[in-house]
Structure 1
Amino acid sequence: MTECTASGEPARNKAGSRYSSLKKDELEALAVSAILEHRRLLDADEAVYEEWLRASGDPLVSSDVAQTLQDEYLARQKQAQGQQEELSEILDALGYVPVVPSGEKD
């Protein structure tokens, strides 16, 4: 039986990865970049989520605005899933998680 990703697509092994042809230093730089992007997206997603929660609990905010924020948050979650799967594939090809300073978000 073939392994599948969370989205139901066939899982790629190291040999079949689109990143397998890259050199280790290129993969590491790509992984660090993807991790930083992941952190940036998480921060932005959290801000949208908090705004959605605030709007949902505020009777002065229209339901249309709250719905728009909810839709934005859900769309961001789908985007985050795709980015997370790509990051996972990069890390699988690299074979380890590189050190990324926690203060380096930009």
Structure 2
Amino acid sequence: MQDAGSSHDEGDRTKPRYDLMDKGELEELTVSAIREHRRLLAADQEVYEEWIRASEDPSIANSVLATLQEEHFARQKRAAAQQDELSDMLDALGFVPKVPVDDEAS
């Protein structure tokens, strides 16, 4: 039984403790994560569109299509993981900070 508790405690220690952060710092971190998420989504959309275009072109080799498809799926997994992290930040912050859509600041 002690082992089960130990592994649970270890899992708790590896999860970020956003709820313990200063709210100002957490808001800055969250804004940065939102910007990164937007950047990732835009880049992922480009890969998806390239995959779709290639799928419609009979002269494109199957190996190229497979590579584009794998890249698209890998990006989806990374985006989902980043979204989970962002969700944890937003939960701890308690609100969604304003980040203009055309904001290019880093």
Give the aligned CA root-mean-square deviation in angstroms. Answer: 1.3
Count of aligned pairs: 91
Runs of 4+ in 1 over 4 A off after TM superposition: none
Query: What is aligned with 1:29?
Result: 28
Q: Which has the larger radius of gyration?
A: 2
| 1:1-21 deviation per Cα after TM superposition (whole angstroms, max 9, x unaligned) | xxxxxxxxxxxxxxx861112
Is it true that 1:90 corresponds to 2:89 in the alignment? yes
In structure 2, list runs of 5 or more residues that go unmatched: 1-14
Identity of aligned residues (%): 58
Counting helix residues as a fraction of each chain, which structure ranks higher? 2
- Once the two structures are superposed, the pairs formed by residues 24-63 of structure 1 within 5 Å of their partners are 24-63=23-62
In structure 1, list runs of 5 or more residues that go unmatched: 1-15
TM-score (structure 2 length as normaliser): 0.82
Output the amino acid matched with 1:53. Answer: I
